Chains A and B, each alone.
Chain A
């Protein structure tokens, strides 16, 4: 049986380095299995965050050979020959070893204005299946935050964190904006405060999403186009002036009894 060599980042906020671990390879293992074997046999103090081992909790995000991946869903036999590098997510502050502080994301989540349906009597909220399906894709998000990690806007530019929500929250904004019962208009907010214009649609978020959400095509670009409707399209602006329409689509809201 051959051996597998793992270069695992060990360290905390004061610094760190890669530590090399060599152990016998076992058939069918994923990276997280090997990390657990390292914990069990060679480094009992190796810190990593994990929970479900099924690609559904989003806890074990790390950078395997330089790409953000869920360790529990990355099979060892699908990685190229040679040492495997495992590092913590680069965009977030390190706590220890492979564990990072992802609270940036929770702060950004607080800033998304909540779903605001119109007042209705009990049983008055009805949606058609085609409207439900539209937002369903976005609800697959498991909040692994790998899209946030790989996004160069904050990964390579820490200063942008203060005014950039990131791909995970752009799909939240999109989901709410595409909800037929929602009455909020978040377009100006997403343009000015959430930094949608910072995204240059290089699609890395889509590439790394373990749920295969089409983040860029189905959320970010549609949101960019909605922002164009609201802020950059002179014809749309003229139309609103002539028809005396608000930025939100009151006709659509009215169609739902808002």
Chain B
């Protein structure tokens, strides 16, 4: 049953507070963590923006005996994709600017609404608060109760969309085991890079709080939902490492793009392992 709003006792909001009127009394290096967050996130945004709009060197194809595509450009579903990069069943032939723009929204939205990244950018960029026990940089605060921040509540949809991208990147990783013109099957460093990238993205997605909720956290009783309880128990340790997985997968996506880009540009060739 739904509960009625309780009779609210007028809250004594109190009187004067103790302590000095300073932003913080902390003497440790509280600013280090938000600064690192700002630096890494800014570096990623700058790099990924450049990578998205440069619109070249995102695919290593049969000419180099490889089938490696950058995660920023997969799925490559536009007419502007380089030969071999795009799929065959769905191609937007009328799209001629960078194909990465088309698919950017999914992964970007997933990370932007992620509970961990929210913590990172609220602390780092918005300074609300920059660290525990350090004053909020803003005089007014309404949290996530109003537009646009109320839209953070769509996180679960981006999570589901993220699973689609993970599946596509997993297919890319499997396809990377093909070495066209150099045997039918093989493993190169590029293969391992794509496999690792897909695995990290799966782990990041499955450690998501929305996943934990949808898979079993939303039930009132575990004992009457034993399968969902098992899934919840499987996801809970991953969820405890959501922060680490968020950072590692973020950096590795950029490194994967960089690797494919450097191989594609001919800076070095992708070494074959076997």
Q: Which residues of B contact A (CB under 8 A)?
A: 1-3, 5-6, 8-9, 11-20, 24-28, 115, 118-119, 122-123, 128-129, 132-136, 140-145, 149-150, 153-156, 209-210, 212-214, 217-224, 229, 239-240
Q: Could you say which residues of chain B place their CB within 8 Å of the CB of A94?
A: 15-19
Q: Could you say which residues of chain B place their CB within 8 Å of the CB of A130?
A: 222-223, 229
Residue A49 lies at the interface, judged by CB distance under 8 Å to chain B:
no
Contact A197 B132 (CB under 8 A): no
Q: Could you say which residues of chain B place their CB within 8 Å of the CB of A203?
A: 119
Residue A140 lies at the interface, judged by CB distance under 8 Å to chain B:
no
Q: Which of A81-110 contact B (CB under 8 A)?
A: 82, 85, 87-94, 97-98, 100-101, 103-104, 107-108, 110
Contact B133 A198 (CB under 8 A): no
Q: Which 6 A-B pairs give the minimum distances between C-beta atoms?
A: A93-B14, A94-B18, A66-B25, A66-B26, A128-B223, A180-B221
CB within 8 Å for A110 and B224 given contacts A203-B119, A217-B209: no
A-B contact pairs, 12 of them (CB 8 A): A11-B18, A66-B134, A88-B17, A93-B14, A116-B3, A134-B222, A152-B136, A184-B3, A189-B3, A200-B122, A217-B240, A227-B153
- A54 CB, min distance to chain B CBs, angstroms: 24
Q: Which of A65, A91, A180, A183 contacts B25 (CB 8 A)?
A: A65
What total of A-B pairs shows CB separation below 8 Å? Answer: 225
Residue A161 lies at the interface, judged by CB distance under 8 Å to chain B:
yes
Per the bound structure, the CA–CA distance linking A45 and B132 in Å amounts to 31
Contact A252 B220 (CB under 8 A): yes
Residue A157 lies at the interface, judged by CB distance under 8 Å to chain B:
yes
Q: Which of A23-31, A32-40, A218-226, A237-245 contacts B (4 or more CB under 8 A)?
A: A218-226
Per the bound structure, the CA–CA distance linking A155 and B1 in Å amounts to 34
Per the bound structure, the CA–CA distance linking A87 and B27 in Å amounts to 14
Contact A128 B222 (CB under 8 A): yes
Contact B13 A104 (CB under 8 A): yes
CB within 8 Å for A152 and B14 given contacts A130-B223, A252-B221: no
Contact A80 B27 (CB under 8 A): yes
Residue A215 lies at the interface, judged by CB distance under 8 Å to chain B:
no
- A225 CB, min distance to chain B CBs, angstroms: 4
Measured CB to CB, the nearest residue on chain B to A186 is B3
Interface centre among A184, A193, A197 (most CB of B within 10 A): A197
Main DSSP-derived SS at the B contact region: loop
Q: Could you say which residues of chain B place their CB within 8 Å of the CB of A184?
A: 1-3
Measured CB to CB, the nearest residue on chain B to A150 is B132
Contact A232 B141 (CB under 8 A): no
CB within 8 Å for A249 and B136 given contacts A66-B25, A87-B19, A225-B156: no
Residue A247 lies at the interface, judged by CB distance under 8 Å to chain B:
yes
Q: Which of A167-204 contact B (CB under 8 A)?
A: 177-180, 182-186, 188-189, 192-193, 195, 197-204
Per the bound structure, the CA–CA distance linking A72 and B3 in Å amounts to 40
Q: Which of B1, B149, B223 contacts A248 (CB 8 A)?
A: B1
Q: Which of B26, B140, B224 contacts A65 (CB 8 A)?
A: B26
Residue A20 lies at the interface, judged by CB distance under 8 Å to chain B:
no
- A164 CB, min distance to chain B CBs, angstroms: 9
Per the bound structure, the CA–CA distance linking A200 and B135 in Å amounts to 15
Q: Could you say which residues of chain B place their CB within 8 Å of the CB of A186?
A: 3
- A192 CB, min distance to chain B CBs, angstroms: 8
Contact A131 B26 (CB under 8 A): no
Contact A161 B224 (CB under 8 A): no
Residue A141 lies at the interface, judged by CB distance under 8 Å to chain B:
no
- B196 CB, min distance to chain A CBs, angstroms: 26
Contact B213 A66 (CB under 8 A): no
Q: Could you say which residues of chain B place their CB within 8 Å of the CB of A131?
A: 221-223
- A76 CB, min distance to chain B CBs, angstroms: 15
Interface centre among B5, B218, B220 (most CB of A within 10 A): B220
Q: Which of B9, B14, B135 contacts A111 (CB 8 A)?
A: B9
Per the bound structure, the CA–CA distance linking A162 and B155 in Å amounts to 28
Residue A255 lies at the interface, judged by CB distance under 8 Å to chain B:
yes
Q: Could you say which residues of chain B place their CB within 8 Å of the CB of A143?
A: none
Measured CB to CB, the nearest residue on chain B to A221 is B209
> Contact mask A150-162 → B, CB, 8 Å, 1/0?
1011011110111
CB within 8 Å for A249 and B220 given contacts A161-B11, A162-B11, A188-B2: yes
Contact A90 B8 (CB under 8 A): no
Q: Which of B1, B20, B119 contacts A183 (CB 8 A)?
A: B1
